[in-house]
């Protein structure tokens, strides 16, 4: 149990385009989902917290108009990187919390974004 | 800032031996949770073990155990009988303070473990 999927696993796009990343909890309902960014050989940096049916809460320094988050259902959250630029290239990873009443966050496999 | 400290950027261990990965944390909260995750080169974050601050016993999950010393604010991960597949990055994390927050995780900088045959 507690499986989280993420799609796509890898994406390469041109500068100026938008990219959507999906995060799904497959076998539990996720009341809260989190989006992280990870630079090479670095720790995870929380970008935002999304709760189903409400607006996401962004961490300080994260542009909410740049990184659009939608949590339309208890099993799906999406992150859209709008007008992507090379500096947005990174590893994006989501996690979901919920099910069995625990605080444990279960992570998706991540999406490697490369903006050319 | 309430942070998580992992002082070992990298560790070597011989296959079949035990290894301890250090983690210390800051907090003024009476109630908190501590987590360890494993991140292999593929990038996925794999949940290993959880310790609640009020848990009377140290957490164990198979070959993983947590040496929780509350007074010292440390939560070291012990991996027994290391296997080659244990080679990965290991992150310690703490659930952030409550009080309206949605239980965010604060991560340490990680320890890269290499298991040698």
Instruction: Tell me what pLDDT residue A31 has.
Output: 81
Peptide bond into B114 cis (omega under 30): no
What tens digit of pLDDT does each residue of A12-48 get? 999 999 999 999 999 888 888 999 999 988 999 999 9
Q: What is the pLDDT along chain B (117 residues), one digit of tens a residue?
A: 568 999 999 999 999 999 999 999 998 888 889 999 999 999 999 999 999 998 889 999 999 999 999 999 999 999 999 999 999 999 999 987 654 455 788 899 999 999 999
Residue A95 has pLDDT above 90, yes or no: yes
Burial class (CB in 10 A: 0-12, 13-18, 19+), B102: middle
B37 shares contact with chain A (CB less than 8 Å): yes
Show residues of chain B in contact with A34, CB under 8 Å: 104-105
* Helix intervals (H) in B8-107: none
Residue with tokens 């301890």: B20
Of A57, A91, A103, the CB nearest to B103: A103
Structure tokens at A106: 């279960």
CB contact under 8 A, A32 and B105: no
Considering only CB atoms, which chain A residues are within 8 Å of B35? 104-105
Count CA within 13 A, CB hemisphere, residue B81.
3
Query: What average pLDDT does this structure show over A87-98?
Result: 93
- Our CA angle for A7, A84, A113, nearest 5°, is 35
Phi, psi of A37 (to 5 degrees): -125, 140
Return the number of other C-beta atoms located less than 10 Å from residue B1's C-beta: 4
Residue A85 CA to its chain's centroid (Å): 17
């Amino acid at each position: 149990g507690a499986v989280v999927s993420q799609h796509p696993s890898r994406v390469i796009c041109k500068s100026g385009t938008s990219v959507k990343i999906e995060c799904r909890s497959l076998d539990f309902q996720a009341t809260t989902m989190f989006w992280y960014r990870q630079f090479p050989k670095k720790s995870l940096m929380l970008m935002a917290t999304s709760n189903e049916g409400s607006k996401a809460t962004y961490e300080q320094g994260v542009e909410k108009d740049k990184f659009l988050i939608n949590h339309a259902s208890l099993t799906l959250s999406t992150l859209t990187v709008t007008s992507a630029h090379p500096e947005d290239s990174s590893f994006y990873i989501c996690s979901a919390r919920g099910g069995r009443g625990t605080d444990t966050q279960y992570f998706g496999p991540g999406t490697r974004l490369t903006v050319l | 800032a309430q942070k998580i400290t992992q002082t070992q950027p990298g560790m070597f261990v011989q296959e079949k031996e035990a290894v301890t990965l250090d983690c210390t944390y800051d907090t003024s909260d009476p109630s908190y949770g501590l987590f360890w995750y494993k991140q292999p080169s593929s990038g996925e974050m794999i949940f290993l073990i959880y310790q609640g601050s009020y848990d009377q016993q140290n957490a164990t999950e198979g070959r993983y155990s947590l040496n929780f010393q509350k007074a010292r604010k440390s939560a070291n991960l012990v991996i027994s009988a290391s296997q080659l597949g244990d080679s990965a990055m290991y992150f310690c994390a703490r659930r952030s303070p409550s009080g309206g927050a949605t239980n965010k995780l604060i991560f340490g900088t990680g320890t890269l473990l290499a298991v040698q045959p």
